[in-house]
A and B are shown apart, each in its own frame.
Chain A
Amino acid sequence: MYEPDSPTIDPAAQTDDWPLPGDPTILFLPMGTDVAMLERIDRESMSFWQDSWRRLRKNKLALTGGVFVILFTLIAIFGPMLTRYNPNSQQLRLTNQGPSATHWFGTDQFGRDLFTRVVYGIRISLIVAYVSTVFSVAIGVTYGTVSAVLGGQVDNVMMRIVDIMMGIPSLLYLILLIVVLGPGLWSIIAAFALTGWLGMARMVRAEVLSLKNREFVLASRALGTRMRTIAARHLVPNALGTIIVLATLSIPGAIFAEAFLSYIGLGITAPQASLGVLASDASDTFMTFPHQLLFPALAISLIILFFNFLGDGLRDALDPKMKK
């Protein structure tokens, strides 16, 4: 085995003058010349993800955001168990009631329980946001990685296509798609997925381009690894931090866009209701029944706020260099 040169310490000098190990008054002891000791690492092994989690945990705002994001997600999944009402059953004798013990958020113009409607609205809004983000991440990461890896003219053409699509205002594009596909949950998701991947593709391409020229990619290449494997093993995993941050920060956008589309009547179709639809319905009468607008609007604002907290925290944790 290889042994580096290192100064030897006179053992005679050690025995008398140096206190025994374990003496609490002594902070430092000579290390000696044991080679195995020289190479030892005392710090606990920590992966990138453990390290990021450690950083995220220290950020109170991000942690709060994360907790509430989970809470809203749980409400979306289990919310219907919290209520005895059907979101669509009308009680025409009990229309436009204020908040009370039986109807926590009151009722709407058809006597439907508003709390139940909001819980279902959160469910629809989050389904739209999550599913469309999953699809746009999948498309964007694949497209961006392929473009960056192939490079040259292919990259040029692929990115010009993105530029052209980005040149069309996304709202115009969304409206056109929904008109073609017809309104409804799935066409909204499809429309968001088809517009949302553009930014993701650009970011992933930029990230992969910079990773592509790092020496560990060359090293892997020198080992005979095929480009496809390199993309999966080296490029995408190293871009994952950016991808996660971008995906998290794109969710508020999707929720907001869905609310907006629903508000102008291009969103979810009745009797299903997203938070946007609820706000839209309530806005006609909000001078008389402000609570009908308050609760769905509050839900939208809080969800967007907490996702932004979490996204910013994730950015600081996953990419400390980007920290403001």
Chain B
Amino acid sequence: MNDSTATTAAAPLLEVRDLVKHFVVKRSFVGRPLTTLRAVDGVSFTVNRGETLGIVGESGCGKTTVGRTVIRLYEPNSGSIVYDGTDLAPLTFEQMRPFRRRLQMIFQDPYASLNPRMTVTDIITEGVRDELRPADRKDLAKRMLETVGLNDDHANRYPHEFSGGQRQRIGIARALAMEPDMIICDEPISALDVSIQAQVVNMLEELQQKLGLTLVFIAHDLSMVKHISSRIAVMYLGRIVETGSSYELFARPYHPYTKALLSAMPIPDPDVARANRRIILKGDVPSPTRVPSGCRFRTRCPYAMKVCSEQEPEFREVAPGRFSACHLEDGAPV
């Protein structure tokens, strides 16, 4: 906290540096780790106040683990998570509690993220239960329900009585009740119908503007991420391979993986779609328990060279505001 670079107006709200989270999936009889799953393997990114950072990548690339480690649901193996001048990584659960009010999360599965035995009021106000009297809690729940477009008739109901979109809004209300500065949205729409997805995303945007929230939006749906994010980070196998502003990243991707990912995006206009060349990647994503040497993407990269298997590419600024980790270019896109 007494760091010389303490909170200034320009300082990012969240700065994650070299975050590593490995899971031991198999132990020997004496408890020595045999197989380690490198879910997050050295991830760095920053989130500025009021902006939305989108994190995209295939299933299993570690997006969700990044989100959960940042909010300290998982214990990071190493790295720092500097939130508003304080490193959260070494904090104990008790020390972390005051920060939970400022850093909240919306979960992926609206059917699993609400306790089926609790009423909506109890769910929404769980985080402030010890601080408020029952009447105030009812009040708060009512206000929060209204904020997310539900009404007080819903306050005493149970989660199973709601649709997926309504449940997800209850989850959002639960996060908002803590009055956070930042919300990590962990694929908040992937379990919802397309029509409801737009509804929830629009609501998140509106709430962001109204309440001045900072969002981290984790998703695999590129068009949705493009729509909501100001900056985007692309993840592959536990690493961030490219970052950039939403517009620039889509207009001019540097990393071959980003290119392949963008080319797979459905295009509504069939004429444009026909003209677009789809990059088809060979093979599957390697298992995060056996990460390839050098560049992780080399096993599927159409441009793989000899150096790629020997040396890990550095994540560096290839153009102003644009970072990428690839041996191919020294600043020049392929």
Any chain A CB within 8 A of the CB of B116? yes
Selected contact of A215 from candidates B96, B113, B127, B153, CB within 8 Å: B113
Given A45-B157, A234-B115, A237-B117, A2 contacting B108 (CB threshold 8 A): no
How long is the Cα–Cα vector from A215 to B167 in the complex, in angstroms?
13
Task: Kindly report which residue of chain A lies nearest to residue B116, judged by CB atoms.
Answer: A48
Interface residues of B in 66-102 (CB under 8 A from A): 68, 71, 73, 93, 96-97, 100-101
Smallest CB–CB gap between B326 and chain A, Å?
Answer: 35
Selected contact of A46 from candidates B68, B71, B158, B203, CB within 8 Å: B158
How long is the Cα–Cα vector from A218 to B74 in the complex, in angstroms?
10
Any chain B CB within 8 A of the CB of A101? no
Contact call B100/A224, Cβ cutoff below 8 A: yes
Task: Kindly report which residue of chain A lies nearest to residue B145, judged by CB atoms.
Answer: A39
How long is the Cα–Cα vector from A216 to B73 in the complex, in angstroms?
12
Contacts of B150 in A (CB 8 A): 39
Smallest CB–CB gap between B196 and chain A, Å?
Answer: 9
How long is the Cα–Cα vector from A4 to B149 in the complex, in angstroms?
9
Smallest CB–CB gap between A272 and chain B, Å?
Answer: 42
Given A1-B146, A39-B166, A225 contacting B126 (CB threshold 8 A): yes
How long is the Cα–Cα vector from A307 to B73 in the complex, in angstroms?
43
Contact call A36/B113, Cβ cutoff below 8 A: no
Any chain B CB within 8 A of the CB of A64? no
Smallest CB–CB gap between B264 and chain A, Å?
Answer: 28
Interface residues of A in 1-46 (CB under 8 A from B): 1-5, 35-36, 39-41, 43, 45-46
Any chain A CB within 8 A of the CB of B151? yes
Given A2-B149, A39-B151, A238-B117, A219 contacting B156 (CB threshold 8 A): no
Contact call B161/A238, Cβ cutoff below 8 A: no
Any chain A CB within 8 A of the CB of B144? no
How long is the Cα–Cα vector from A222 to B96 in the complex, in angstroms?
10
Task: Kindly report which residue of chain B lies nearest to residue A2, judged by CB atoms.
Answer: B149
Any chain B CB within 8 A of the CB of A54? no
Any chain B CB within 8 A of the CB of A160? no
Smallest CB–CB gap between B174 and chain A, Å?
Answer: 7
Smallest CB–CB gap between B105 and chain A, Å?
Answer: 5
Any chain B CB within 8 A of the CB of A220? yes
Contacts of A48 in B (CB 8 A): 116-117, 158
Contact call B109/A223, Cβ cutoff below 8 A: no
Contact call B97/A40, Cβ cutoff below 8 A: no
Contacts of B178 in A (CB 8 A): 223
Contact call A216/B149, Cβ cutoff below 8 A: no
Contact call B162/A41, Cβ cutoff below 8 A: yes
Task: Kindly report which residue of chain A lies nearest to residue B31, judged by CB atoms.
Answer: A153
Contact call A39/B156, Cβ cutoff below 8 A: no
Q: Which of A36, A218, A234 has the most CB of B within 10 A?
A: A218
How long is the Cα–Cα vector from A214 to B115 in the complex, in angstroms?
9
Contact call B151/A223, Cβ cutoff below 8 A: no
Any chain A CB within 8 A of the CB of B312? no
Smallest CB–CB gap between A48 and chain B, Å?
Answer: 6
Any chain A CB within 8 A of the CB of B154? yes
Any chain B CB within 8 A of the CB of A100? no
Task: Kindly report which residue of chain B lies nearest to residue A211, judged by CB atoms.
Answer: B115
Given A2-B148, A237-B117, A223 contacting B126 (CB threshold 8 A): yes
Smallest CB–CB gap between B138 and chain A, Å?
Answer: 15
Contacts of A43 in B (CB 8 A): 161
Task: Kindly report which residue of chain B lies nearest to residue A240, judged by CB atoms.
Answer: B117
Task: Kindly report which residue of chain A lies nearest to residue B111, judged by CB atoms.
Answer: A215
Any chain B CB within 8 A of the CB of A47? yes
Smallest CB–CB gap between A212 and chain B, Å?
Answer: 12
A sample of 19 more A-B contacts (CB under 8 A), given A4-B202, A41-B157, A222-B100, is A1-B146, A2-B203, A39-B150, A41-B154, A215-B107, A215-B113, A216-B114, A216-B115, A218-B73, A218-B107, A218-B113, A219-B113, A219-B114, A220-B115, A222-B73, A223-B100, A224-B101, A233-B126, A237-B117
Q: Which 5 A-B pairs have the closest CB atoms?
A: A223-B127, A224-B100, A215-B113, A215-B112, A2-B149
5 residue pairs of the A-B complex, CB under 8 angstroms, read A39-B149, A41-B161, A48-B116, A214-B112, A225-B126
